[in-house]
Every structure is written in C-alpha cells, then in structure tokens.
Structure 1
Amino acid sequence: MQRKQKIRYATAAVIVVLVLVGFFLFRDSSDALWNTVTEKCVPSQQQGSPAPCLAVDSHTQSALIKDRNGPHHDLLIPTERISGIESPVLQEHQVPAFFAAAWEARKHLSNEAGKTLPDDILVLAVNSRYARTQDQLHIHISCLRPEAYQTLREQGNTLTTDWQPLGEELRGHRYLAKKLTSQDLTRDDPFKELSAYVQRQGDSIDNYGLALTVTPDGEKLLLANRGVRFGFNRGSTSELIDTQCTLAR
C-alpha cells in the first residue's frame, strides 16, 4: 500500500513539474515577438538599420517583420506594449492607427512577390485573445485563400455598412461582415468599429478575431469571427490567409 501511495505521489509531482515547465516555456515563447522588436529591431533602428525587422516607424509606433511561416507573410507590431485585440489602449482617441499602418505596409508583399499584388487578394488579420500564440498585438499581412476570396466576391453585393452575418461560412466558420463608410482607416479604425458592435451586443471583444480586405470595387471590408474560448473555433482570422499567395500566380 505504501509503495502504491509513493508511486501516486511521485506521478503527481512529475505532472506538476511538467505543467510548470510548460507554463514558463509558453510564457517565454509568447513574448518572442515583443522581445525581438524591443531588444533587436528598435535598438538597431537607432543605429540606422531596423534588422531583423523590415522597418521601424516612430510615427506609427510600429515595426514590420517578416513572418517565418510562408514566403508572403509579414507582421505589423506596435513598439509599445499592447497585449492584443482586447487591450483598452486600442479604444483610446490618440492611439496610432495600426490597421492603417499595416495596410500601408502591404507594399512589402508586392516587393517580395516581385510584382504589384491587387488589393482585393490581400488581407489583414488579428486573432482573438484565445486564438493567438503571442501576447503582443500583431497584424498578419498576407494574401486571401482562394476559396475565401471567391466567397467574398459572391457575397459582396449583399453587404452594407452595418455588421451582418456573411451568407456563407469561411473555413467552416460563421463570420460577420461590414463595409466601411470611408477609405480612411485612421477615421474608421477597425478596432473601434468592432468594439462598438461588441458593446451593443453585451459581448466581450476578447472573443473576436478581426480581418480587413478590399472588394474588387475598392471598398474596404471588415470581417469578424466570434470564437469560443474552449471550442474548436477560438476566433482565428489568420485562418483566411494563404502565405503562398496562390491568387497571384
């Protein structure tokens, strides 16, 4: 009996150690982007080069870095500490327009592709609090998956400037969509647009992923994916990106 009890205690101790090790490893890895930007890119920019980032912009308070996952995939990251889509900082009046900065940075994808990529095949994406791996806000800049592109083309004429369910699922998930009333992402900040909707629903923005693309007519289109914290859909909008940029071939 004592032997069995010792084995149970030893097993429990091993499990606790593994959980603690996993926690600290995840905590370190979830700060990887933040550490790269603040410990490498910003100091390097002060010496004249943003490496390993593509760019560091003091005006927009952001850095642009190439994501190692895929040839056509960049990330825009604030140079100030902002955890993610749920951060109250993003609702402040004076906060930099990070979506506007990310949209402006799309030209780097064209440089990588060696040709100008049409705006309507591009997408910006921010995952929900529960679908991300990094605890620093980052906006994915890449191309749309062909099937998502086709669905949005088919549904485009049914969409208005009010949030409404998209008529077809994207990647097997239900999305909300709305057209922006202007082309100015500084005035129509996507984070604030989604927050206003979420508050009217009595919901939490933590649950939502947010994406932006453009219709063939040039209208900016927001997409939101409401996830469930412990469900199969956790609010990822990066599921819409195709880092191979198949549509550009």
Structure 2
Amino acid sequence: MSHVFGHDWLISRNSKSRMKYRPVVLSISLVIAVIIMSSFASRSALGLVVEACEINSTLTGSPYPCLKVVQAQDPLSAYVVLREPADKERTILAPLADVPGIEDPRLLAAGAPNYFDAAWKERTAAISLRAGKVSPQDFALAINPASWRTQDRLHVHMGCETPRFRALLKTHAAEIGSVRFTNLRTNAGWWATFHAADDLSNLNPLTAVADGVDGARSNMENVVVGVFGSTLPDGQHGFYILARIIGANKSHGGSAEDMIDPKCQL
C-alpha cells in the first residue's frame, strides 16, 4: 500500500508541476501563433520567436517553434536554429542575444562568437530529405546588410549556393587567391577570397571581411557576406568568402536570398 501511495503521490506532484507551467506554455503557444500569423510583419518578430523558443526550451525541454536551442557559457555565443515563420523552406540561425546585425561592434571584438561556424556545424538541419545526396562542401551561408534585412535580429541564411553564384565563382576561380581578397571587377562590386579548411572553427568570415575588404570595417551595416563550401580540382576542401559593400552599388542583386538555395536543388 505504501508503495502505491508513494507512486500516486509522485504522479500527483508531477501533475501539479505540469499544471503550474501549463498557463505559461499556453501563453507561449499563443504568442507564437500570433507571430506566425503576422507573417513577419514586425521587424521584431524574429526576436520574439527566438525568445519564445528559449523560454519553451527552459520550461519544457522542447525548442519549439525552433528546431534547436543551443546554450553557451558566453551568452553572445548561444543560438537557435529555426525555419523562417514566413517561409518554411528557409532555415536560419539566430543568436539568443539581442544582436541586430553584423554591424554590432561586439562581433568584431576579440573572442567574438563565430555564427558562421555555428551555422556550418548545424548544416544538416537545413538540408531536406530531398537533398540527401548533397555534399557538405556544397553548403552555403549568407548574411544580409542592415538595409536589406526584414528583421532586426541577426540571422544566417543556410542552404546551398544558387546556380548564379556557382557560376560566378567558377568564372573567377583562377583569379581568386587565398592570401587576400580580390576585387572581381564585377558590376555588383564583389570581393572574394578562398581559405583552405575543413570547417570554420579557425576562420571567422566577418573578421576576415572587416580586415580584408577595403572600407568594410567602418561600414559593416552595408556589407553582404556569403560563405560557400567548395572542393578544388586537386581535392582540397575550403571556403570561398564573397563580400560587397552596397553603398557603392545600389543594385539589390546579390542578397543572401539570391545566394542561398534553401532546398539545395543542385
């Protein structure tokens, strides 16, 4: 009898615990539903979704509506991976911290988080079952400048390079070096470099662009950055980094959405 009583007491206690958090969870679900129905009309919507994921993960252990919530000792390094509420085909990575974009000076400070590295490590979340044969080296990442993004929360677009940018890199491959950025002399004003590496753990593309592209560090709010995994003809793995400062060219061709194919239909 005592065993049964103890078991019943445990069930009762757990039920009370669940009941305690139920209103909070329901409130989170309601907020999430309103945000999704608003189709990202507000520039703060992504930040609200990220916060909802963090709260839900803390209270219930579920990252919903995100795919994943990753905590870190350094709050600036914590992040979530999610499908865009307004476009379920697109996968993005966003910091838990309130970071508006790559213009945030904290991202160029010593010891700054490398969101591109985090997104590269989470790449399997972005490749759908339809693209099961995609090589990791076909993966691509990109971030928009302040004037092009629709949300005031930094987010890295994840997927594969589009045919347009695959052709651009192929056309200019012979002139792109690994020591410094090369001005490709394109109408859009692209700069490019190649780094031989298997991952991005020792390569922060934001720092590389800030230090390697003329005028970028003082104008990061107008910089577009794309990172493309690649395998050279000799079998060497690495990454092409493309960047441009849009202040010098108002053309909207070449946004993160232009660079990334979220479905990886190579």
- Tell me the TM-score normalised to structure 1 length: 0.77
For 2:212, the aligned partner's letter is Y
Quick one: which of 35, 41, 54 aligns to 2:53? 41
Q: 1:179 aligns with which of 167, 190, 194?
A: 194
Give the aligned partner of residue 127 of structure 1: 144
Task: Please state whether the residue corresponding to 1:228 is helix, strand or coil.
Answer: helix
1:100 aligns with 2:117: yes
Change over 3 Å in CA distance of 1:44–1:112 after alignment to 2 = farther
Distance across 1 between alignment mates of 2:131 and 2:265: 14
CA distance in 2, matches of 1:147, 1:234: 11
The structural deviation recorded for 1:148 is: 1.6
Mapped partners of 1:229, 1:160: distance in 2 = 23
Amino acid at match of 2:55: P
Shift of 1:155: 2.4
Q: Specify the structure having the higher radius of gyration (Cα).
A: 2
Per-residue deviation, residues 16-41 of structure 1 (Å, max 9, x unmatched): xxxxxxxxx9x971111111001x10
1:109–1:117 CA contact under 8 A, matched in 2: no
Distance across 1 between alignment mates of 2:165 and 2:131: 24
2:90 is equivalent to residue 73 of structure 1: yes
Cα distance in 2 for partners of 1:54, 1:85 equals 23
Counterpart contact for 1:71–1:244, Cα < 8 Å: no
Counterpart contact for 2:157–2:256, Cα < 8 Å:
no
Q: How far, CA to CA, are the matches of 1:235 and 1:115 in structure 2?
A: 27
Identity percentage of aligned residues: 24
Amino acid paired to 1:239:
D
What is the deviation of 1:233?
A: 3.5
Aligned residue for 1:228?
247
Change (3 A) 1:121 1:184: closer
Task: Pick closer, same or farther for the CA change 1:35–1:127 going to 2, 3 Å.
Answer: same
Shift of 1:174: 2.9
Name the SS for the 1:211 alignment partner: strand
Q: Which residue of 2 aligns with 1:166?
A: 184
| 8 Å CA contact 1:227, 1:234 repeated in 2 | no
The correspondence for 1:58, drawn from 57, 66, 71, is 71
Q: Select the residue among 161, 171, 174 that pairs with 1:144.
A: 161
Partner of 1:154: 171
Cα distance per residue 1:209-246 (max 9 Å; x no partner):
10100222321110102202893338733321223433
Q: Distance in 2 between matches of 1:115 and 1:160?
A: 31
Equivalent AA in structure 2 for residue 164 of structure 1: T
Which 5+ residue runs of structure 1 have no aligned equivalent?
1-24
The gaps in structure 2 that reach 5 residues or longer are 1-37
Superposition deviation, residue 142 in structure 1: 1.5
- RMSD between aligned residues: 2.7
Take 2:69 and 2:177, find their aligned partners in 1: how far apart are those partners? 36
